[in-house]
């Protein structure tokens, strides 16, 4: 990197803005399509977007976008828009069933992680990332897109097999949210077609539909005039355009196309309330939805300016709501209020809150009164200036990263342009708009916007959702609370002034006493006068990103079992109270326009520090870090607020099958050990002692002894050194213990089997955990990880594609060195109660197969190819380097091993994984926990309190 990089970047921004200043913006002009993208349309109506982008290298992001979703389904097709998406991977003109996924995996494209698709109300989108190393892969990828567009086969046998998989997906989604949603959607969508066309569909239709209904949906709606192809990445635009014309110009529209209409949503006239309760709900909430309005897509610079006004308004109002959540006896756990889209063509003003122990009435009062406060009295000048700073810094970062943004980000933008007509002028022009428009937005204008936007008197829907237990409000009570809140007078907002900066002056600096360089890895090692060490790696991966990390041994392990709650929550409690003399709300105000943050805390066996900032905000990040070591702000009110929120969340989760299941797995694995990573009961939060938590935090973070800070990103080493000497070199380093203590937490041995009965839906989950002692090494860690990835391929192939008994699920695993050499492999498989025994049997059959025969060469090759591609891409990510350098320090490994990853991966062979399967998948030592539904299986959902 060149010297003075940050200064040069800022100067470039100034010069860029100055060069455009002479051309004043004309608000009624349409927003042009930016020069970064080529937008075209074929004679058959298909739209295409092409952009060459170098990040990540040797990668191409392809999308097929279809303006057809579940809203277009006929009565006998409810769920078939989504089913068509499934069938696109099950055989087409040029790819037999399973051949497509297998081929893409063989070139490094992971199914689910990379290759994917989704279906919504109004669209279906296919996602295909392709490595561009081999030209034939790019050509074949366009053939895949063409097959999806008009070549899906829909063979009867494949439909029947996929039917079972889609039904498993539907089963996976069952539960409180699904049950409650069926009561809520008719009100949310005002009785429109949207309430009847959820993308997952109806179970009876999915079980019994005729294949012709599926083919009819495909014929009617998969047509070029409703399609777009998006191509972003490492490809010449002319070559991409040629591929598009070759593969899509010959597509034809039906002779008599069905009209593509968008469902209308009727306007709400009256105010009404709805209460929906479920014993398995995850929490209580209230929503006030104001009348819907059609979205006006003007596409002009004036409309863009209106969007900026809306963004500023939302930021200021939600800042006020956040302040209320921090108060003692807060009216809610969290809240938001803003204008938002319900569908691409309708938006409404909404206010919502997650409820605390005080219930719905205080939350409704706070939401209504804060809306009225903004509508009647507007905002203050300081609020607006802070919101402007934050907004402009966001766009500045985007502009700084314009040459380093990922292709997938651009692809998503072009999808929104096709579906929602979002403007795509490009970041150069957007940055100019923001620089010229935002300073001119006045307080009077914002306050006028608030008066016009927040409805004063209109029909509303007041929706309460929550846990089915005594104390829930009725609909009449909600309406009464709303009416009372609307009658109350409101005073102007009191925006208290805060300090303009974090620190009045820098601390007395330390010095750099030693420096050495690692040219192979591009590292600079610094030793500071207080004993703190720093590792610098300047990069050009991003233009406006700096990341920081540090860790040392100690953490919660140094405190006894009687202190485990205080130690475990010390981080969150201290963070909830602010920094130095500033509350969290003060900090938001002081940091307006800054991109910087730092967290510190106690892990199980380590003390950890993590930070991130923009290139121009490094000093702010270092000041935040310094203040974390300087002391703790004690605030009993904020402590009680934090603990109260956590207790309320725990109470609300008591009835969830997932929580009970997770607790049962931990209990079975660790036999009730006090250090086991379990969730807490609500009453346990009352046992946390504020002063003891602060004391524990201060014991670990009053000293920076033995910390080595890793700094990676867009900085000039010479420019950053004085900052490091000032803020890191002046940290206190008194003597403290810097070794972890083995607390004796060990998983059980032998075979342990348990069953949990929870939940009313016919759904089960199988958890298998293999654990034990094992010596740690990087090579062995790689073998275990490869074993897990191959096992995942086999589980999906057998349990999903062959047996059709799961939709998702899989294995994960790790080899650890701390506090002792140990391994863990966990397998989670959601399925139906009737399939549990078969799924377990098939899983162990695959384990035995790996142990006796080893992996198939093709499976291992897929894993290796995917890993190598991901590694090459990750080498251009700051976070990857931070994580690698940190783990190298913690585990005492050679950081240069990052340069040999490809060689290590290529050296993996079937014998390695077979040996790993025998070693780590020990069928004489595992814990099996199965979640089954309660008996009898009868869902309990209540809809009460409808009122007008």
Number of domains in the chain: 4
Q: Which residues contact 781 (CB under 8 A, 6 or more apart)?
A: 814, 815
**Are both 147 and 223 inside the same structural domain?**
yes
pLDDT of residue 298: 75
Q: What is the pLDDT of residue 480?
A: 97
Q: Are residues 779 and 853 in the same domain?
A: yes
Q: What is the mean pLDDT of residues 832-856?
A: 98
The answer as to whether 776 is a domain residue is yes
Co-location of 590 and 450 in the same domain: no
Does position 8 have pLDDT exceeding 60, yes or no? Answer: no
Query: What is residue 937's predicted lDDT score, i.e. its pLDDT?
Result: 42
Verify cis geometry, omega within 30 degrees of 0, for the bond prior to 819.
yes
Residue 658 inside a domain? The answer is no
Residues 607 and 699 reside in one and the same domain: yes
Tokens at 410, concatenated: 């651009």
pLDDT band at 946; cut points 50, 70, 90? low
Domain hosting 613: range is: 512-636+693-727
Lowest mean pLDDT among 559-563, 603-607, 699-703, 944-948: 944-948
Query: Do 103 and 64 have their domain in common?
Result: yes
Token pair 């006796």 in the structure block, residue: 852
pLDDT digits (tens, 9 = 90+) for 549-564: 999 999 999 999 999 9
Q: What number is the average pLDDT over the span 152-180?
A: 96
- Residue 97's pLDDT band, with cuts at 50, 70 and 90, is confident
110 in a domain, yes or no?
A: yes
pTM of the model: 0.93
Residues 450-492 pLDDT 10s: 999 888 778 899 999 999 989 999 999 999 999 999 999 999 9
pLDDT tens digits for 170-203? 999 999 999 999 999 999 999 999 999 999 999 9
**What length is written for the chain?**
948
SS3 of 339, please? strand
Residues 567 and 419 in one domain: no
Confidence of residue 579 (pLDDT cuts 50, 70, 90): very high
In-domain check, residue 737:
no
Q: Are residues 221 and 110 in the same domain?
A: yes
Average pLDDT, the chain: 94
pLDDT at res. 253:
97
Domain annotation covers residue 381: yes
pLDDT digits 0-9 by tens, 663-690: 999 999 999 899 999 999 999 999 999 9
Measure the CA–CA gap between 613 and 251, rounded to whole angstroms. 49
Per cent of the chain over pLDDT 70 is 96
- Give the pLDDT confidence of 33-86 residue by residue, as tens digits: 999 999 999 999 999 999 999 999 999 999 999 999 999 999 999 999 999 999
Is residue 797 a part of any domain in this protein?
A: yes
Inform me whether the pLDDT recorded for 631 exceeds 80.
Answer: yes
pLDDT of 4 > 90? The answer is no
Is 100's pLDDT higher than 80?
Answer: yes
Q: Does 159 have pLDDT greater than 90?
A: yes
On whether both 223 and 330 belong to a single domain, the answer is no
Please compute the mean of the pLDDT values over residues 385-410 and round it to a whole number.
Answer: 96
Dihedral through CA 895, CA 897, CA 901, CA 904, nearest 10?
-150
Give 944's pLDDT tier (boundaries 50, 70, 90): low
Q: Is residue 12 part of a domain?
A: no
Identify how many contiguous H helices and E strands the chain contains and give both numbers: 30, 24
Three-point CA angle 742, 743, 745, nearest 5°? 105
Half-sphere exposure of 759 (CA within 13 A, CB side): 28
**One domain for residues 463 and 554:** no
**pLDDT exceeds 50 at position 607:** yes
Report the alpha-carbon distance of residue 621 to residue 611 in Å, rounded: 7
Which domain CATH number covers 831? 3.30.830.10
Residues 279 and 325 in one domain: yes
Does residue 2 lie within any of the structural domains?
Answer: no
200 and 89 housed in the same domain: yes
pLDDT tens digit string along 412-451? 999 999 999 999 999 999 999 999 999 999 999 999 999 9
pLDDT-derived band at 3 (thresholds 50, 70, 90) equals very low
Computed over its alpha carbons, how large is the radius of gyration of the chain?
Answer: 29
Do residues 472 and 598 share a domain?
A: no
């Amino acid at each position: 990197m060149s010297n003075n990089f940050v200064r040069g970047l800022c100067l470039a921004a100034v010069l860029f803005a100055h060069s455009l200043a002479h051309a004043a913006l004309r608000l009624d002009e349409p927003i042009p399509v930016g020069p970064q993208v080529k937008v075209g349309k074929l004679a058959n109506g298909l739209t295409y977007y092409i952009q060459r982008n170098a990040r990540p290298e040797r990668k191409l992001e392809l999308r097929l976008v279809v303006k057809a979703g579940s809203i277009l389904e006929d009565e006998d097709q409810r769920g078939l828009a989504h089913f068509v998406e499934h069938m696109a991977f099950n055989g087409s003109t040029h790819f037999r069933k399973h051949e497509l996924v297998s081929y893409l995996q063989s070139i490094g494209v992971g199914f689910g992680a990379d290759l994917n698709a989704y279906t919504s109300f109004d669209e279906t989108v296919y996602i295909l990332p392709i490595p561009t190393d081999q030209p034939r892969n790019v050509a074949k990828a366009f053939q895949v897109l063409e097959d999806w567009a008009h070549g899906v086969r829909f063979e009867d046998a494949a439909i029947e097999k996929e039917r079972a998989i889609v039904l498993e997906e539907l089963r996976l989604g069952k539960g409180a949210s699904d049950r409650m949603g069926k009561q809520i959607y008719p009100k949310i969508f005002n009785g429109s077609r949207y309430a009847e066309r959820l993308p997952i569909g109806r179970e009876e239709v999915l079980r019994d539909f005729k294949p012709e209904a599926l083919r009819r949906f495909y014929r009617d709606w998969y047509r070029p005039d409703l399609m777009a192809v998006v191509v972003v990445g490492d490809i010449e635009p002319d070559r991409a355009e040629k591929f598009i014309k070759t593969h899509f110009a010959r597509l034809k529209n039906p002779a008599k196309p069905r009209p593509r209409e968008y469902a209308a949503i009727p306007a709400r006239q009256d105010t009404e309330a709805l209460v929906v309760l479920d014993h398995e709900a995850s929490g209580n909430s209230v929503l006030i939805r104001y009348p819907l309005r059609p979205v006006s897509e003007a596409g002009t610079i004036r409309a863009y300016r209106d969007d900026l006004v809306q963004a500023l308004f939302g930021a200021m109002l939600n800042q006020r709501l956040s302040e209320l959540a921090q108060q003692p006896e807060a009216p809610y756990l969290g809240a938001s209020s803003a204008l938002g889209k319900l569908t691409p063509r309708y938006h409404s003003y909404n206010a919502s809150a997650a409820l605390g122990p005080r219930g719905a009435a205080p939350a409704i009062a706070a939401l209504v009164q804060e809306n009225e406060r903004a509508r009647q009295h507007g905002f203050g000048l300081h609020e607006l200036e802070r919101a402007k700073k934050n907004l402009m810094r966001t766009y500045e970062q985007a502009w700084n990263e314009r040459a380093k943004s990922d292709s997938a980000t651009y692809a998503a933008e072009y999808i929104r342009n096709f579906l929602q007509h979002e403007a795509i002028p490009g970041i150069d022009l957007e940055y100019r708009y923001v620089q010229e428009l935002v300073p001119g937005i006045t307080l009077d204008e914002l306050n006028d916007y608030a008066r016009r936007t927040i409805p004063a008197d209109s029909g509303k829907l007041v929706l309460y959702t929550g846990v089915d237990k005594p104390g829930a409000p009725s609909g009449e009570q909600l309406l009464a609370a709303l009416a009372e809140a609307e009658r109350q007078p409101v005073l102007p907002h009191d925006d208290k002034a805060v300090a303009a900066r974090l620190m009045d002056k820098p601390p007395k600096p330390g010095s750099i006493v030693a420096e050495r360089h690692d040219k192979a890895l591009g590292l600079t090692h610094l030793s500071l006068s207080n004993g703190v060490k720093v590792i610098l790696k300047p990069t050009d991966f991003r233009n406006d990103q700096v990341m920081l990390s540090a860790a040392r041994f100690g953490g919660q392990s140094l405190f006894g079992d009687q202190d485990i709650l205080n130690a475990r929550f010390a981080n969150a409690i201290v963070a909830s109270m602010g920094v130095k003399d500033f509350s969290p709300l003060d900090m938001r105000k002081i940091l307006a326009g800054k991109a910087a943050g730092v967290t510190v805390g106690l892990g199980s066996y380590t003390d950890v520090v993590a930070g991130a900032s923009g290139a121009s905000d490094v000093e702010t990040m270092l000041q935040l870090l310094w203040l974390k070591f300087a002391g703790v702000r004690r605030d009993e009110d904020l402590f009680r607020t934090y603990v109260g929120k956590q207790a309320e969340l725990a109470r609300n989760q008591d009835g969830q099958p997932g929580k009970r299941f997770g607790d049962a797995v931990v209990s079975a694995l660790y036999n009730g050990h006090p250090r086991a990573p379990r969730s807490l009961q609500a009453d346990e939060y009352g046992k946390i002692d504020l002063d003891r938590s602060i004391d524990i935090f201060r014991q670990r973070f009053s000293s920076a002894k033995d910390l080595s800070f890793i700094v990676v990103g867009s900085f000039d080493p010479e420019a950053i050194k004085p900052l490091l000497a000032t803020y890191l070199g002046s940290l206190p380093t008194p003597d403290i213990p810097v070794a972890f203590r083995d607390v004796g937490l060990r998983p059980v041995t032998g075979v342990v089997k348990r069953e949990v009965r929870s939940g009313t839906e016919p759904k089960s989950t199988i958890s298998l955990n293999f654990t034990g002692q094992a010596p740690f090494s990087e090579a062995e860690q790689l073998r275990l990880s490869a074993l897990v990835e191959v096992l995942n391929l086999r589980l999906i192939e057998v349990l999903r594609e062959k047996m059709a008994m799961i939709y998702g699920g899989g294995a994960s695993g790790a080899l650890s060195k701390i506090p002792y050499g140990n391994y863990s492999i966990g397998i989670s498989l959601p399925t139906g109660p009737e399939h549990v025994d078969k799924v377990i049997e098939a899983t162990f059959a695959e384990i035995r197969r790996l142990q006796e025969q080893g992996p198939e060469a093709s499976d291992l090759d897929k894993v290796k190819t995917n890993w190598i591609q991901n590694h090459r891409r990750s080498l251009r990510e700051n976070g990857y380097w931070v994580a690698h350098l940190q783990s190298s320090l913690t585990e005492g490994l050679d950081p240069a091993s990052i340069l040999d990853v490809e060689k290590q991966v290529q050296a993996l062979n079937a014998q390695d994984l077979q040996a790993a399967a025998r070693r780590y998948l020990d069928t004489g030592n595992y814990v099996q926990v199965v979640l089954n539904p309660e008996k009898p299986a009868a869902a309990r959902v209540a809809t009460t309190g409808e009122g007008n």
